Structure 1
Amino acid sequence: MFTTEFLLTSLVVVLIPGTGVIFTVSIGLMQGRRASLCASLGCTLGIVPHLLATLLGLAFIMHTSAVAFQALKYAGVAYLLYLAVATWRNREAFSVQEVNQPGSVASLVVKAFLINILNPKLTIFFLAFLPQFITAGAESSMAQFLGLGIVFMAMTFGVFALYGQLAYAFRVVVIESPRVQAWLRRGFATAFAGLSLQLALTER
């Protein structure tokens, strides 16, 4: 079940920069080390509904129902556009304090959670990806599926947390210039807008 092929494939999938990675890196740069961990946790928790949907057969509905797929897709597009606009309009200097308030922590986790839960491709990805590594004929196929999902989530959190910590280290060394901050903010806003366009053009 936990074959080398599964682990390597999962690692490659997690390492590929996507919406969650960009969000985590942006948070690490703008708000610090602990904030990036909150973002990593939120993105990882956002995987849970997709795993459950796949287990319950909802992934099949998502795959066959154009209406369900489009509804979730455009909710994701709208959310990414919201992040793009909010990031672009933010004129505050990058925070030098770590996130400590429970409300701030919860807000970051929820924002990151929404990034993954509003991506319909993730459910279909699990429908196509994880079953390949379940041992044929095994009675505990559901337990195997959950085990594979948990390992994938653990790898996601570890890689995203690493991205966030590296971003924070970069921030400490380089980002002292308001001009650099402005360009980075615009770059992240543009990235979120581009990802929303990519999602909008995505077909099942």
Structure 2
Amino acid sequence: MTWEFWLTSIVVTATPGTGALFTVAAGIARGARAGVVAAVGCTLGIVPHMVLALSGAAALMATSPVAFGIVKWLGVAYLLYLGWGTWRQSSVLSMPDDAHEGHAPPTVLRTIGSAVLVNLLNPKLTVFFFVFLPMFVASDEPGAFLHMAVLGAVFMAITLAIFAVYGLGAAWLRGYVLGKPVVMRWLNRGFAASFVALAVVLAFTHQ
């Protein structure tokens, strides 16, 4: 396991994207526990992409416009759904305020499910695993499958650690904005707009 793998994994994971945005939004909206739960969910959302890469099915995603397009448009639809729900204060990322005090906070399973879908419906992750993992494993080396599985697990551990830091950092920031309805409202709208913007970017993404 080379330093290049660690550096690449950290850079890719730390770069802001849909998973990072979801985790930060959860931490600000509901606190440290929700931020960590979101980090766990986003990490679990990587598992299907890793399985596809290990099975060779990721090659189909990388070369098939139809398969890529189906996952892409499902991802676009879900990001728009998250943006709409966040704007209307009806998603797992809804921020508590005086107008919504009677609403029960989202369950752990609902938060994890939403986080999993954020990464599951990101076709760029499948293509990334198809291109990324083979760079560090020679296909003809003994135990290549196991080696790729270990690298994938390490990538997931790095993702969990970095996203947990994002979630906890957001929860810390929450302490400064909680009780300020105007600030919370604009943060909520900012997250909603960000999800819509990411949906637009994904819509124009090509293989």
- Assess same fold via TM > 0.5: yes
Q: Distance in 1 between matches of 2:169 and 2:59?
A: 38
Aligned residues: 197
Pairwise CA distance, 1:76: 0.3
Pairwise CA distance, 1:137: 3.8
* Aligned position for 2:5: 6
Going from structure 1 to structure 2, the CA distance change for 1:56 and 1:136 (only over 3 Å counts) comes to closer
Paired-residue identity, %: 47
* Aligned position for 1:98: none
Q: Distance in 2 between matches of 1:17 and 1:161?
A: 14
Pairwise CA distance, 1:175: 3.1
Q: How does 1:27-106 map to 2 (within 5 A)?
A: 27-90=26-89, 93-94=95-96, 104-106=107-109
| 1:119 counterpart letter in structure 2 | N
Residue 194 of structure 1, aligned match among 194, 197, 202: 197
Are 2:26 and 2:167, in contact at CA under 8 Å, matched by a contact in 1?
yes
Q: Which consecutive segments of 4 or more residues in structure 1 shift more than 6 A?
A: none
Q: Distance in 2 between matches of 1:45 and 1:152?
A: 12
Pairwise CA distance, 1:94: 2.6
Residue 185 of structure 2 is aligned to residue 182 of structure 1: yes
Q: Distance in 2 between matches of 1:195 and 1:136?
A: 35
Are 1:45 and 1:113, in contact at CA under 8 Å, matched by a contact in 2?
yes
Instruction: Give ranges in structure 2 of 5+ residues lacking alignment.
Output: 98-103
Q: Distance in 2 between matches of 1:192 and 1:81?
A: 7
Pairwise CA distance, 1:135: 4.4
- Larger displacement relative to structure 2 (142-151 or 126-135): 126-135
* Aligned position for 1:144: 147
| 1:13 counterpart letter in structure 2 | V
Secondary structure of 2:147's match? helix
Q: How does 1:150-161 map to 2 (within 5 A)?
A: 150-161=153-164
Q: CA-atom RMSD, angstroms?
A: 1.6
Instruction: Give ranges in structure 1 of 5+ residues lacking alignment.
Output: 96-100
Pairwise CA distance, 1:60: 1.2
Q: Distance in 2 between matches of 1:158 and 1:147?
A: 17
TM (normalized to structure 1)?
A: 0.92
TM (normalized to structure 2)?
A: 0.91
Residue 130 of structure 2, aligned match among 127, 130, 136: 127
